[in-house]
């Protein structure tokens, strides 16, 4: 049995520069990962199987195909075949939430299968499969702080801020990535600023926040609450939403804010974590 974490991805900043001829968008983004996320388990079996458990399992109920199964098929076809596998996905992250859950799960599947097959995680074929699966999958495969360019797949690892307290809050709405990108106003407001991670993120922005808030006004409510929290250093939406995050200097401030939001908004998903 191999157990592989699928940590949540956050975009501390996301600058959309242009719409490309291939339908994707030219991006500059700051990828970070947190200590919490989904969990994937594989084990040799007599017959292949895929089971989803966890608090958000129902969100994937009836889904005939997903990125985990596509990652498995691509690995078998392009890297190495393996015996039948029983795959269990413990779905702890909200679906369609801007945290790269599906991409992180696919990357975890690639890492788990590589470990089972004795393939190095640095193997160029893994990266090629990840790029074909989706824009966020290469970053999730890398699993460390990086600047993403292109459609997000061109990665430059940078120093992170491990251990920094972060609070993740989702108002319980799923937001379509395609709809948010379609609503982007196509104005290039410039690239990422220079500087260390947190300073650069503070001076940056998320260009998808305005269109996401127009689609799901609840995002604005979350950001207002996080921005007003004691000790908050930065509050912003991640990816295309609807999850928002707040970085804190003191874990006690993070915990107190989490408790206050849970009491005031019992329908919201709240997760205290730290940057990896």
- How open is the CA angle 122-133-95, to the nearest 5 degrees? 110
SS3 23: coil
Distance (Å, whole) CA 195 – CA 198: 8
SS3 209: helix
CA 75 vs CA 17, 82, 130: distances in Å: 32, 9, 10
SS3 259: helix
**Which of the following is catalytic: 36, 90, 136, 207?**
136
CA 155 vs CA 48, 174, 237, 269: distances in Å: 34, 27, 21, 30
* Contact call for residues 35 and 99 (beta carbons, < 8 A): no
Q: Is 136 assigned a catalytic role?
A: yes
Distance (Å, whole) CA 114 – CA 220: 41
**Which of the following is catalytic: 9, 36, 91, 207?**
9
Q: What are phi and psi of 154, to 5 degrees?
A: -90, 105
Give catalytic residue positions: 9, 136
């Amino acid at each position: 049995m191999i157990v592989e974490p699928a940590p949540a991805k956050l975009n501390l900043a996301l600058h959309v520069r242009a719409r490309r001829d291939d339908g994707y968008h030219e991006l500059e983004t700051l990828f970070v990962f947190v200590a919490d996320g989904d969990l994937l388990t594989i084990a040799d079996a007599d017959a292949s199987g895929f089971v989803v458990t966890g608090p958000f399992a129902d969100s994937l109920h009836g889904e005939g195909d997903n990125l985990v199964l596509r990652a498995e098929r691509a690995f078998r076809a392009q890297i190495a075949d393996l015996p039948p596998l029983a795959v269990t996905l413990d779905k702890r992250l909200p679906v369609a939430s801007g945290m790269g859950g599906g991409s992180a799960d696919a990357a975890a599947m690639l890492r788990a299968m590589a470990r089972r097959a004795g393939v190095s995680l640095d193997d160029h074929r893994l990266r090629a499969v990840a790029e074909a699966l989706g824009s966020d999958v290469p970053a999730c495969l890398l699993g460390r702080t990086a600047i993403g360019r292109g459609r997000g797949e061109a990665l430059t690892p940078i120093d992170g801020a491990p251990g920094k307290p972060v609070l993740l809050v989702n108002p319980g709405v799923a937001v379509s990535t395609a709809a948010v990108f379609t609503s982007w106003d196509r104005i290039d407001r410039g690239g990422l600023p220079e500087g260390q991670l947190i300073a650069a993120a503070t001076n940056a922005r998320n260009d998808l926040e305005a269109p996401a808030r127009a689609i799901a006004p609840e995002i604005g409510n979350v950001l207002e609450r996080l921005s007003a929290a004691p000790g908050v250093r930065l509050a912003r939406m991640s990816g295309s939403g609807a999850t928002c995050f707040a970085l804190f200097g003191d874990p006690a401030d993070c915990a107190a804010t989490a408790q206050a939001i849970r009491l005031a908004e019992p329908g919201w998903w709240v997760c205290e974590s730290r940057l990896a």
